[in-house]
Homo-oligomer: A and B are copies of this chain.
Amino acid sequence: MKRIFLQWVLVFSVYNIGVLPVAAQELGQSLDSLEVRPSLVNSRLSLPTQLTQVHVISPGEYFAPPLVADIPDDRFGDMVRMGRNIFTKTGVYAKRYAGNGLNCSSCHLQEGRKPHGIPLWAAYGRYPMYRHKTRTVVTLEERIQDCFIYSMDGIAPTLDAPEMKALVTYTKWLSKGAPVGVDLPGRGLPNVSRTQDLDPKRGKIVYETHCEFCHGKDGKGQKHTNGEGYMFPPVWGGDSYNKGSGLQRVRTLAKFIKGNMPLGASFSLTNQESLDVAIYIWLQERPRNPKMSQAMDFFFPNMAR
């Protein structure tokens, strides 16, 4: 009986690997990355052989949200500050809803201000909008609930929760002056297009070169020594986003990496590098999608949502 079960597990696992969007085994060898990408050589005393694209920002190209110092000193301002606290330290100020080691600002970089880093000021005026994921029109509140369920692997605050109101108020304050219903430059994530098939092996090399420094060899981030959560957030493992979240889509993760990683060097990775590292991260362990059963998750650990 037990042997039959194990056989089934084996069969399902093989099947599962078979339906990966990449045929990792065949295509991994099509390119000897060590020849083309000198950054993968250990020695750092070499001369440039390849110049990648330069991302130029003109002044005024992106929306500039108001300064934190300008939060008014009234009850509205209190709500904004509460929202900002929750946003930047979710594990502290929204502990009852947060389920992992991430904060809102782990994905919405620089307190939700960074263009191409899913900025809040570009999101506020877009909701309510139709979302393909849910196939309904969702309000900002419902979108925030999804963030808590999937990206934070936690519990959704109710629509009338003070935390929810604070987050919406913070978002509104941050969007001061942004037009409603208009796609602002820098909204969401940048586009990434694919030129060749993805290869998690190349992705692993990219990860070790560019990401490991902060996110750690095991992808579990780096914690503060004083126990106050993560200095650099985990990108996989039990304390990271779950399989239902947006970043678990390879293309979305690649977009995020392309537009934001490494910090201060956005757009430095090529599209292909971003996609390769994204699929490498996609293949790692993380909490299951709460909308999917344990059994499904066991047999199809990387099934698309």
Interface on A for B, CB 8 Å cutoff? 74-76, 79, 124-125, 127-130, 135-137, 139, 141, 159-160, 165, 168-169, 172-173, 175-182
Contact = CB atoms under 8 A, between A and B. Distances in A.
The listed residue with most B CB atoms (<10 A of its CB), out of A74, A128, A177, is: A128
Contact of A181 (B160, B176, B182): B176
Contact of A172 (B127, B172, B173): B127
A209 to B, nearest CB: 41
Contacts of A79: 128, 130, 137
Contacts of A137: 75-76, 79, 165, 169
B176 A177 contact: no
A296 B130 CA distance: 47
Given A128-B165, A175-B180, A176-B180, 18 more contacts: A75-B130, A75-B135, A75-B137, A76-B128, A76-B129, A76-B137, A79-B128, A79-B130, A124-B180, A125-B180, A128-B169, A128-B172, A137-B165, A137-B169, A139-B165, A141-B141, A141-B159, A159-B160
A127 B139 CA distance: 14
Contacts of A130: 74-76, 79
Contacts of A128: 76, 79, 165, 168-169, 172
Contacts of A139: 165, 168-169
Contacts of A178: 179-180
A282 to B, nearest CB: 29
A120 to B, nearest CB: 11
A247 B125 CA distance: 29
Contacts of A135: 75
A169 to B, nearest CB: 4
